[in-house]
Amino acid sequence: MSTAVSPLAPTDVPDMPVIAGVKLATAAAGIRYKGRTDVLLALLDKGTTVAGVFTKSKCPSAPVEWCRAKLKGAGSSKGLARAVVVNSGNANAFTGKTGKQSTALTAQIAAKAVGCSTEEVFLASTGVIGEPLDATKFDGVLATLAETATPDHWMDAAKAIMTTDTFPKVATATVKLGKARVTINGMAKGAGMIMPDMATMLSFIFTDAPLSAAVLQSLLKTGVEDTFNALTIDGDTSTSDTLLAFATGAAAANGAPKITRASDPRLKAFTKAFYGVLADLSEQVARDGEGARKLVEVVVEGATTKPSARKIAMSIANSPLVKTAIAGEDANWGRVVMAVGKAGEPANRDKLSISFNGIRVAKSGARDPSYNEKEVSEAMKAPKIEIKVALGLGKGRDRVLTCDLTKEYITINGDYRS
Amino acid sequence: MSTAVSPLAPTDVPDMPVIAGVKLATAAAGIRYKGRTDVLLALLDKGTTVAGVFTKSKCPSAPVEWCRAKLKGAGSSKGLARAVVVNSGNANAFTGKTGKQSTALTAQIAAKAVGCSTEEVFLASTGVIGEPLDATKFDGVLATLAETATPDHWMDAAKAIMTTDTFPKVATATVKLGKARVTINGMAKGAGMIMPDMATMLSFIFTDAPLSAAVLQSLLKTGVEDTFNALTIDGDTSTSDTLLAFATGAAAANGAPKITRASDPRLKAFTKAFYGVLADLSEQVARDGEGARKLVEVVVEGATTKPSARKIAMSIANSPLVKTAIAGEDANWGRVVMAVGKAGEPANRDKLSISFNGIRVAKSGARDPSYNEKEVSEAMKAPKIEIKVALGLGKGRDRVLTCDLTKEYITINGDYRS
């Protein structure tokens, strides 16, 4: 298995500012391996609101079920969070009843360390599945982390949640909310599916903006649609995918207005910046796709509707034949036609146009007569490939990110036993 | 690209009997390469009935559209066929209006050679897409083939329609219909998606049984459900998939009854044999999956319904992570859980059981305590792997065939330019 950093890793890594109300600490709890940093604790000031979106898997992990229950939970702590515990090494998925006990015990240990209710503790796990997670390993560790947490640990935190990621993924934005400057920090992990067990996409977003939990949930729900939900590495969905957002509200001290309605016009710039952080992180996940050598952007326009465009774009982005062609630097538009055809959405073969990195290779249902093989071959060497399909039917447009499919993906996931 | 025969090729190749009323001939028409056998003509006696099922692609090839139109066609020739022309080298797909002209010209040349109406000519093409198919190349060739066709050319015919298939695929059965013996012969081609362009599954079934076109269509439609439609190599669907069946009715001379209703009880044994031929051919396609080293049978039972079991089985069979694990001889049940979860069908994580080749590795939503790693590792070395998932919810059961995903698949489809 290769440990080299993806050739698509961003060269420009931001300095992560502090977020008032958030403190971070990491440790090696020996979850799976000794001496490897595998736990992240994020401490959140009182009054921090929380929102989350999760895997659509019908077989979710125990931590996903825990978070869902806490978000729905009634009582005074509803929509509030004081701590997030993230571990790598063990996903606590498909662990039966012991999985549930394990999340409860982890939350108890964290609640005691932080001095809060278990209702205010959020959990995420990634790593091997089907193995019991021994939560007693957090005993002592979380108490130490709670004491030593500092506001400036962002890069270490992003590293602590990595599994087979080849680089840590962080993004940040500052933006005006009312007359105050507020900050949004995010981190993510994910690289397709993780050898030798289960893939997971985890992401955590923090802001000092004073947002109600409902506003935060609305931002997340809309924000993922064109970012994390418009991303595919291999069409496989983890049982553990988790995206949590936290708003400490600390910027209220600087005059930031408290936002309680998602439709509040003062939220406009913030919303844009928030989506920008989600988009940045999700693109980084595509750039770290297992074995990826090319970032692929699939744009479908002229579909009957946007959902129809999404379905067609996903069909193209998930096609092994399209992805292997891109790996081979082959502008194989025949395979793109195939993927359009199998999507089951309205399409008229004789109106289809297809281009690669701006060079049209097919139009009106046949090869573009002006298509120059040499020019296209040259364009296909670029590290980023845009496949654009124009259907010529309506105004539906959408965009999906993915990566190519290389032998390295098979090496990473094939776990060849010798 | 490897030209070695798949290690999963059947060792037992049947002697193909003649079918009264069917004559075959092959030739090298120079469709794409000179000197390569690339045309098959099947001549059918007067009165031969025909039925067909085709790709569900929204962008079908010109020959698929041609066949669909002829099957629907009105007039005295409706449901009747006199000739089938199959070519490799060019799929006549995504060729715009010239594609339609090309099918019409091919049918004209064939009709003239055979002495029938163009309405009774059926066409199938496989090979490169997006390139015009020059039908004038059939001129002369088809007339010669019509003159030289013989009843015993089955293996040559199966070879003529191959593209990247590593072995010809034939199957045969004889069975009683009334008191007469009737014969069913079938051939198929397909190996996933074909380098460097488009994949295609083509299959042709011939029988001397006297069946009406409606009966034949009913047999095909029901028969593909658990055979060709329960097969996936890589989840990609060709624009050209074609399965045609022909019944010459010649066995009527030996006393076989003419069957005009699909519900006729005399059809029972024939139906079983017919489905057997379809099952045999579709398994051979899985065995010739691009880069395949293992045949994989996914069995899902205990689902709420059979369609639900099918969806879950397909989700497992199409998961790159499951397929790479099988290639690595790794009984990675975590990935099977993942694939069950992403299918979106009813599933209860805590009732799931999973076994590989009869060895249960997970039960009641967790690792099976009796699971012996060594025993399973040994079992995973077999050339055929059965993944069985028991959902414990209902009586829905289904089965899907696929193959593993190896680096060879990437090599075949990656078309690495140097």
Same domain, B262 and B325: no
Kindly indicate whether the ipTM for this predicted assembly is greater than 0.95, answering yes or no. no
- What's the length of chain B? 418
Inter-chain residue contact B94 with A337, CB threshold 8 Å: yes
B15 shares contact with chain A (CB less than 8 Å): no
d(CA A92, CA B34): 60
Residue that finishes a domain, picked among B287, B315, B333? B287
- Residues B57 and B137 occupy one common structural domain: yes
A198 CB within 8 Å of a chain B CB: yes
Give the count of beta carbons closer than 10 Å to the beta carbon of residue B143. 16
Rounded mean pLDDT of B394-409?
90
Same domain membership, residue A49 and residue A194: yes
Q: Determine, for residues B333 and A97 on separate chains, whether the beta-carbon distance falls below 8 Å.
A: no
Same domain membership, residue B329 and residue B239: no
Catalytic residue positions of A? 200
Q: What DSSP state is assigned to residue A203?
A: E
Q: Is B397 helix (H, G, I), strand (E, B) or coil?
A: strand
Query: Are residue A301 and residue A258 in the same domain, yes or no?
Result: no
Helix (H) or strand (E) holding A413: helix A407-414
How many structural domains does chain B have?
2
Asked if the structure places residue A1 within a domain, the reply is no
pLDDT of residue A199: 47
Per-residue three-class SS string for A65-87? HHHHHHHHCCCCCCCECCEEEEE
Range of the domain at B360: 295-414
For residue B65, being part of any structural domain is answered with yes
- Is the pLDDT at B74 greater than 80? The verdict is no
Residues B225 and B351 in one domain: no
Mean pLDDT of B258-282: 94
Q: What is the pLDDT of residue B191?
A: 66
Q: pLDDT at position B237, please?
A: 67
Which is more confidently placed, A332 or B144?
A: B144
CA nearest to B351 within chain A: A96
Residues B130 and B43 in one domain: yes
What confidence score (pLDDT) does residue A415 get?
Answer: 58
* Residues in chain B closer than 8 A to A405 (CB atoms): 320, 410
Question: A301 and A283, same structural domain?
Answer: no
A417 interaction partners in chain B (CB closer than 8 Å) = 328-330, 377
Percent of all residues in chain B with a pLDDT value above 90, rounded to a whole number: 61
Residue at B12 is within a domain = no
Domain boundary (B271, B287, B303) is at B287
* A164 and A77 together in one domain: yes
Q: Is B232 an active-site residue?
A: no
Beta carbons of A415 and B325 less than 8 Å apart: yes
Average pLDDT over residues B199-210: 85
Residues in chain A with pLDDT values less than 50:
1-2, 193-199, 416-418
| A69 burial via Cβ count (<10 Å: 0-12, 13-18, 19+) | exposed
pLDDT averaged over every residue in chain B? 89
Q: Which of B53, B29, B51, B33 is nearest to B41 (CA)?
A: B29
Q: What share of chain B is helix, strand, coil (3-state, %, to 5)?
A: 35, 25, 40
A77 is in an annotated binding site: no
Q: CATH number, domain at B51?
A: 3.60.70.12
| pLDDT over 50 (residue B382) | yes
Mutate to test the interface with B, among A90, A232, A342 (most CBs of B within 10 A): A342
Asked if A238 and B338 come within 8 Å (Cβ–Cβ), the reply is: yes
**Residue B410: pLDDT band with limits 50, 70, 90:** confident
What per-residue confidence (pLDDT) applies to B34?
82
User: Does residue B46 belong to any structural domain of this protein?
Assistant: yes
pLDDT value of position B193: 46
Kindly report the CATH number assigned to the domain that includes residue A398.
3.10.20.340
Q: In this model, does residue B197 exceed pLDDT 60?
A: no
Q: Do A237 and B341 touch (CB under 8 A)?
A: yes
Task: Please identify which of the residues B200, B207, B248, B406 carries the catalytic annotation.
Answer: B200
Q: Grade residue B3 by pLDDT with cuts at 50, 70 and 90.
A: low
Determine, for residues B56 and A411 on separate chains, whether the beta-carbon distance falls below 8 Å. no
Measured between beta carbons, the chain A residues lying within 8 angstroms of B362 are: 94, 130
Task: Please list every residue in chain A whose beta carbon sits closer than 8 Å to the beta carbon of residue B413.
Answer: 320-321, 324-325, 328
In a domain, A16, yes or no: no
Is the pLDDT reported for residue B416 higher than 70? Answer: no
Place of tokens 């003529």: B160
B210 class by beta-carbon count within 10 Å (0-12 exposed, 13-18 middle, 19+ buried)? buried
A407 to chain B: nearest residue by CA? B407
- Nearest CB partner across the interface for A130, out of B330, B334, B415: B334
Pick from A295, A320, A208, A314: which is nearest to A258 by CA?
Answer: A208
Instruction: Count other C-beta atoms under 10 Å from residue B260's C-beta.
Output: 12
B395, pLDDT greater than 90: yes
What pLDDT is attached to residue B200? 61
Contact residues, chain A, for B367 at CB < 8 Å: 94, 130-131
Residues A69 and A205 placed together within one structural domain of the fold:
yes
Residue A186 and residue A332 share a domain: no
pLDDT, greater one: A411 or B38: B38
> Is B13 part of any domain?
no
Helix (H) or strand (E) holding A339: helix A333-342
Q: Report the residue from B59, B196, B321 with minimal CB separation from A413.
A: B321
DSSP count for chain A of H helices, then E strands? 11, 15
pLDDT recorded at residue B194: 32
Among B338, B354, B403, B415, pick the best mutation site for testing chain A contact (most A Cβ within 10 A): B338
Cβ within 8 Å, pair A60-B341: yes
Q: Tell me, yes or no, whether A7 lies in a domain.
A: no
Choosing from A259, A287, A315, the residue where a domain stops is: A287
Residue B5: inside a domain:
no
Tell me which chain B residues have a C-beta less than 8 angstroms from the C-beta of A59. Answer: 337-338, 340-341, 347, 349, 352
Pair (B343, B229) in one structural domain? no
